[in-house]
Structure 1
Amino acid sequence: MKLLRYLPIALACCFPAILRAQVQVHPNLMLTEAGIPAVKKGIAEYPLLKKSFADIKAKADKALAEKMDVPTPRDGAGGYTHEQHKNNAANILSCGIAFQMTGDVKYSTYIKDILLLYAAQYEQWPKHPKQKSNQIPGKLFWQCLNDFVWQVTVIQGYDMAYNSIAVKDRATIEEHLFVPILKYFTEDCKETFNLIHNHGTWCLAAVGITAYVIHKPEYVEMALKGSNRDGKTGFLKQLEELFSPDGYYTEGPYYQRYAIMPFVILAKAIQQNQPERQIFKYRDNILAKAIHAGLQCTYTTNYFFPINDAMKDKDFVSDEMVYGVDIAYADIQPEADLLDIAKKQNKVVISDAGLTVAKALADGKAQPFGYKSQWMSDGPKGDEGGLGILRYGTNASQQCLLLKAAGQGMGHGHFDRLEILYYDNGSEIFSDYGSARFVNIESKFGGDYLPENKTWAKQTIAHNTVTVDRQSQFGAVLNKAQPTHASLLHFEAKGDIQITSARENQAYPGVGLLRSSILFKPDGATKALMIDVFQVNAAAEHQYSLPFWYQGVITDASFKFSAVTNDLKALGSDNGFQHIWFNSDNDVANQSSYITMLNAEHFYTTHFVGTSPMKVKLVTVGAGDPNMNLRNERGFILEQKQAGCQAFISITETHGRTDATAETTTGAKSNISNLKVIGNEAAETTFSFAVKGKTYTCKLNYSSKDKFIQISKN
């Protein structure tokens, strides 16, 4: 008897995490039972919380006014059943929040009724009839990923309505909907469940938070440690593998935004239900670093750097980042500049965390977000290349130069090692195409990635980096690129000289690529010059093509265009060149040349010179596009047809302004002149240029750490 008396205590010592989960409290995810009174009070006191709840309640009331519909799944992305099931999930969450804040059972009744409809059908539904290419199908949607997202949303609403739903109805919903969902996700979707990838993250989050709500501790352990519960996969392993020590997400900023939501929602659930795990401190506060890294991967217009398979219209106002910012501020570290982001997001999650953020904003604690120049490492150990981010000026007119020297980024990565992106005055100057896709537009390839994503957007020539022999890096083969990465050569961001330099030696056999991108402010200048030095070294001769895909329109050039005025032809037949209209071909002698572009009322002149004569091709995207899938973007390509070693040196200057309303123009001519190559060897590049008649000499010593870059004025 004594042994039995002490058995519960012994078990509690051995399995504290599992036993803690047996204490059923609802709600206990984002919105907690203990926090509800304060959140209700906060809605009346804090403007942003009040606005955010009003938006949610309006959605809940709209849901109640509409006919409930749970259709048999049949459509791909953008189709009726796809959108209806998405709407149902959003309605369930909105009604859950409305119920907790108002106490009106009409909202919880809606949740009960619609989930009973799902429970009556789910087990009879087959796998979705329209399977997305190369993806495991869901039962509600054409890819299981959408099912995961649906469940993450729905289970939060159910958690909020839980205590208002009769025990019998809860049993039906759990036995015939949520438990079958857990089995489908962990068995039929087992490969994805164990995948170290954003799809895996969503699956783990769906399983983990569902298991907490319906009390299935065995599924909690699977979510945390993988199918075999051995820690080789699962949520904790994803925290170790998918982020660098700086918080950079290996698939790129766009997917960092997308993945941060399941990461923080599951982490919040773990913190609420198993606080002894101290999940927010895991791996030296990696989730906080991930949220900050995601924000640092945006320009001051709020949009993410569109590298890899990115949709260019995504910014940090998205719901995923609202969750991330609220939890980062309230649960991890209350940094005042996060409030600046929350203010721009103009909404908070109706939760304990959202209350904390809304109160802090009302108390005037926000400070401008601290964008900074930094080397952001890639890879779990931070040794797989990274992003070099240089920034100059205030947030209102910031210059931002990005050098991509990261790893491949798994299946969503593009073949674009050492590409650059450049922003200024709130605009893209040299841009990345992003992905070729129309999300949720069924008429555009069912909302999936377009064929042109492979034939154009991923190809090297689609990016601001060198293409060798008109072939893409690694032959555009993922398995060749994934094991490799570029490497940092030098990073420095002090005063008026900032530089990031990286090397890539594996993208092309026998060819070494080295790029140094610089922001340098000459004496008396208001804006920094964007200086770019791309050195290519090979023993054999090759053809090198360096494009600059620009936004705006050309207004001037140092040479007369030799334009094709009719009968346009594609620049090539494959590797992305088949999608480029050839507009003009121009010879450039050894002396420097320039092209001036007008972009958002400002002039940008790019001066360029090579170590040997080259051609400049003016081009437009859109060839080989029978379904009109591509945007007609413009670029100029610096091309050297036959060289072993070649250096491309360019300087881009911001100058002047035009006022369309007043019909005035000032400073349309560049202040840069006389760009010359002085010397170029494998270990060193030296060149000079003049600014308003004053000559500057720039020397890059690739083997020196202390004196990597020297700029002197003569």
Structure 2
Amino acid sequence: MNYLKKVVLVSFCAFFSISLMAQTHPSLMLTKANVAAVRKGVTTYPLLRQSYQTVKNAADKALAEPIVVPVPKDGGGGYTHEQHKKNYSNMLSAATAYQISGQKKYADYVKNVLLNYASQYEKWPLHPKRKSEDDGGRIFWQSLNDFVWQIYTIQAYDLVYDGLPAADRKTIEEKLFVPILKFFTEDRYEVFNKIHNHGTWNLAAVGITGYVLNKKEYVETAIKGSKKDGKTGYLAQIDQLFSPDGYYMEGPYYQRYALLPFVLFAKAINNYEPSRKIFEYRDKLLSKAIQTSLQTSYTDKTFFPINDAIKDKTYESIELVYGVDLAYADIKPEVDLLDIAKQQNRVIVSDAGLKVAADLAAGKAVPFKYQTLFIKDGAKGEDGGLGILRSGANTDQQAVLIKAASQGMGHGHFDRLGLLFYDNTTEIFPDYGAARFLNIDTKNGGGYLPENNTYAKQTVAHNALVVDETSHFNAKVGPADKTSPNLLYFSNQPNLKIVSAKEAKAYADVTMIRTSALVKVDGLEKPLLIDVMQALSAKNHQYDLPFWYKGQLVNTSFPIKAKADGLTALGNNNGYQHLWLNASNKLDVKAGLVGLLNKNRFYTTHFASDNPLEVKLVSIGANDPEMNLVDGKAFMLSSNGQNQTFASITETHGGTDPINETVSSALPSISELTIVKSDAQQTVVSFKLKGKIYTYQINYNDKQNYISFK
């Protein structure tokens, strides 16, 4: 066979495959070829059976209620907003029930809902509660929610396609889906071509709809951008929004949210055009993104809540259910993913869900492998990253996160080199997350609160160094987006796990270096968290290092005399105006300790400074007339000078048994923490433990011997 004949044959086969798939339904998560196997799996595998029963119950409940498609008028969390969300969820549940049960009543329900939308959609103007002309939706206050609605709805349509009369399909497509495609690609042209999670949802909705409706031109624009030059579109989103390690620049919370359109569109592309090898694209980037999303969570299932994050969100969310199922079934069957699926306690009733449920039933799951790692940020992996240190089994794991990543655009917070610490399945030194009550209409329409800017994003709201009571980059996104911290050192040894990073641009004349380590010491059950924050400057500054904590303060090395009345705010701006100054103490020595009790376990943070030291005890709540801020407490290390080093060791010890009313090892074992030396070349600290003096030394310019501990 000559070359020309081969090309013609391959091209014909590819075209034939696409055309055939376009006429075959269902064709997305559940495919026609596997419907029979999934039906059988529902009766065979417990997790698939349970997942289907949940879907069927939702479908039956929907069928028992009248169909309501209201004219859009309410913002996030309001009646019409929630009803339209309920509609797409109900349609997908009913459509899935149709495929598994074969009962026409479920398909008829989806048909009737879609016909109702088709009779109204083109009459709806932009949403009356829209925040802007450029980003308002028709069904929802922001177009993002319209994109989400379409991604769920087109899945439902695909599932019932063969169960609908041709005339009804024509009406639904011409009066609903085609106008939606035009609205998304023309009226929301800027969003469609924006490298941002809103753009991802838009183009995924367009691309998947294009496949299902056999409108290839929409598929091409979704993959390559409106101009089809590859500068925008799906592939450009993968190239620019993710690092080579699969980290999404807006942070774990938004990575979780953005994953669903990425993986669903990839699944559609793979089903319709396997020749594109989309799951292989950029060295299996989507698989890395799913793994990285899981690695940026703690063992309590929550994501590390850096940047704008709702702290209750876990990997049980629907986006990661899709992601884990597809990663396991379509990309690589890594058996520790089955542990996540087991904890999610559901699968998507689909081809992928069938494989996951079958292998879980076969006993193939092993505990998820949480890792100590540095996750690179930036499209080329050159914009810093996240340092994650872990020690211990998943049931009782210590975890430390150092945020040395890029700003993360508008959702980023100003917390360069911020620290988070977890232990015993709970937060010890937490991140505030976002100031938002998601979809609670009475709280600013469910959107971000004013305090998200005035407090939550400000540096003092984090476990990060504040200079002169001003936030990093003066809380300006533009300058912050242009630069990132630099990783100085990372090591993952059994007894010494370290991350060290430098930030030199957050303040005009201050260079910050933070080095954090989990250090195992003989005689201690848990590793020590040793943290050294160094600031170098040619000028005098005020340096504040807050440690926001969970639990109760039960021990200090200095007397506390908290204000009984007449509380005042700690400052006037940059988040300080939202903090009550409860107590302050100028220490006679440059060292001290604070002890906490959290979830029946003691944590003592020993600290030292190379300049005179003041400890301030603060709490959140000042200048909060609408009571929008969530409670929080911190001890703040405060000092003045040119160069400043704060060294701390957090010791985990003992505990309480409230049932039996016993206490063990309530007092720490460490003493005499001292900064021996600290300059641009080296920091040396020493401490005493059980009669022995230990020395911890950082050699900033010696990568071969960066840390010495003896």
TM-score, normalised relative to structure 1: 0.97
State how far apart, in whole Å, the 2-side matches of 1:661 and 1:137 are: 55
- CA deviations on 1:7-63 (whole Å, 9 max, x unpaired) are 999877568766643221100000000010000000000000000000000000000
State how far apart, in whole Å, the 1-side matches of 2:687 and 2:340 are: 40
State how far apart, in whole Å, the 2-side matches of 1:305 and 1:102 are: 40
- CA deviations on 1:154-194 (whole Å, 9 max, x unpaired) are 00000010011111110000001000000000011111111
Change (3 A) 1:639 1:187: same
1:40 is matched with 39
Aligned identity (percent) is 55
Which amino acid in the other structure matches residue 679 of structure 1? K
Which amino acid in the other structure matches residue 546 of structure 2? P
- What is the Cα deviation at residue 427 of structure 1? 1.0
State how far apart, in whole Å, the 2-side matches of 1:412 and 1:135 are: 19
2:533 is matched with 534
State how far apart, in whole Å, the 1-side matches of 2:242 and 2:622 are: 38
Which amino acid in the other structure matches residue 324 of structure 1? G
Q: 2:691 aligns with which of 690, 693, 699?
A: 693
- CA deviations on 1:461-489 (whole Å, 9 max, x unpaired) are 00001011100110101011011101100
Q: Say whether the 8 Å CA contact 2:590–2:610 is kept in structure 1.
A: no
1:28 is matched with 27
Q: 1:669 aligns with which of 667, 675, 680?
A: 667
- CA deviations on 1:446-473 (whole Å, 9 max, x unpaired) are 0000000000000000000101110011
Listed as ranges, the matches of 1:288-327 within 5 Å are 288-327=287-326
Change (3 A) 1:446 1:182: same
Q: In structure 1, the residue corresponding to 2:316 is in which secondary structure?
A: coil
- What is the Cα deviation at residue 135 of structure 1? 6.1
State how far apart, in whole Å, the 1-side matches of 2:541 and 2:588 are: 19
Q: In structure 2, the residue corresponding to 1:548 is in which secondary structure?
A: strand
State how far apart, in whole Å, the 1-side matches of 2:11 and 2:355 are: 35
Listed as ranges, the matches of 1:112-123 within 5 Å are 112-123=111-122
Q: Say whether the 8 Å CA contact 2:338–2:366 is kept in structure 1.
A: yes
Is 1:703 aligned to residue 701 of structure 2? yes
Listed as ranges, the matches of 1:18-167 within 5 Å are 20-23=17-20, 24-132=23-131, 136-167=135-166
State how far apart, in whole Å, the 2-side matches of 1:30 and 1:94 are: 13
Listed as ranges, the matches of 1:473-492 within 5 Å are 473-492=472-491
2:253 is matched with 254
Q: Say whether the 8 Å CA contact 1:590–1:610 is kept in structure 2.
A: no
- What is the Cα deviation at residue 564 of structure 1? 1.2
State how far apart, in whole Å, the 1-side matches of 2:265 and 2:52 are: 23
Q: In structure 1, the residue corresponding to 2:504 is in which secondary structure?
A: strand
Q: Say whether the 8 Å CA contact 1:135–1:143 is kept in structure 2.
A: no
- CA deviations on 1:302-345 (whole Å, 9 max, x unpaired) are 10000000000000001100000000000000001000000000
2:644 is matched with 646
Which amino acid in the other structure matches residue 650 of structure 2? T
- What is the Cα deviation at residue 562 of structure 1? 3.0
State how far apart, in whole Å, the 2-side matches of 1:632 and 1:555 are: 18
TM-score, normalised relative to structure 2: 0.98
State how far apart, in whole Å, the 2-side matches of 1:363 and 1:158 are: 33
Comparing 364-373 with 557-566, which one deviates more in the overlay?
557-566
- What is the Cα deviation at residue 561 of structure 1? 1.0
CA RMSD of the aligned region, Å?
1.3
1:601 is matched with 600
- CA deviations on 1:631-682 (whole Å, 9 max, x unpaired) are 1100011011x31101000000011111111111111100010001110111
- What is the Cα deviation at residue 504 of structure 1? 0.3
Change (3 A) 1:338 1:538: same
- CA deviations on 1:345-404 (whole Å, 9 max, x unpaired) are 000000000000000000000000000100100001111000000001111110001000
State how far apart, in whole Å, the 2-side matches of 1:149 and 1:399 are: 36
Q: Say whether the 8 Å CA contact 2:514–2:531 is kept in structure 1.
A: yes
Unmatched 5+ stretches in structure 1: 1-6
- What is the Cα deviation at residue 509 of structure 1? 0.2
State how far apart, in whole Å, the 1-side matches of 2:203 and 2:589 are: 58
Which amino acid in the other structure matches residue 691 of structure 1? L
Q: Say whether the 8 Å CA contact 1:12–1:19 is kept in structure 2.
A: no
1:660 is matched with 658
Change (3 A) 1:502 1:15: farther
Unmatched 5+ stretches in structure 2: none
State how far apart, in whole Å, the 1-side matches of 2:677 and 2:569 are: 36
Q: Say whether the 8 Å CA contact 2:134–2:188 is kept in structure 1.
A: no
Q: Which runs of 4+ in 1 moved over 6 A?
A: 7-12
- CA deviations on 1:417-467 (whole Å, 9 max, x unpaired) are 000000011110000000000011000000000000000000000000101
Listed as ranges, the matches of 1:577-656 within 5 Å are 577-640=576-639, 642-656=640-654
Which amino acid in the other structure matches residue 615 of structure 2? V
Change (3 A) 1:455 1:257: same
2:332 is matched with 333
1:202 is matched with 201
State how far apart, in whole Å, the 2-side matches of 1:324 and 1:56 are: 18
1:576 is matched with 575
- CA deviations on 1:242-261 (whole Å, 9 max, x unpaired) are 11111111110001110111
User: What is the number of residues matched between the two proteins?
Assistant: 705
Which amino acid in the other structure matches residue 649 of structure 1? A
Which amino acid in the other structure matches residue 526 of structure 1? E
State how far apart, in whole Å, the 1-side matches of 2:350 and 2:114 are: 23
State how far apart, in whole Å, the 2-side matches of 1:16 and 1:582 are: 72
State how far apart, in whole Å, the 1-side matches of 2:347 and 2:617 are: 46
Which amino acid in the other structure matches residue 653 of structure 1? E
2:393 is matched with 394
Q: In structure 1, the residue corresponding to 2:364 is in which secondary structure?
A: coil
State how far apart, in whole Å, the 2-side matches of 1:217 and 1:504 are: 47
Q: Say whether the 8 Å CA contact 2:591–2:613 is kept in structure 1.
A: no
State how far apart, in whole Å, the 2-side matches of 1:292 and 1:134 are: 37
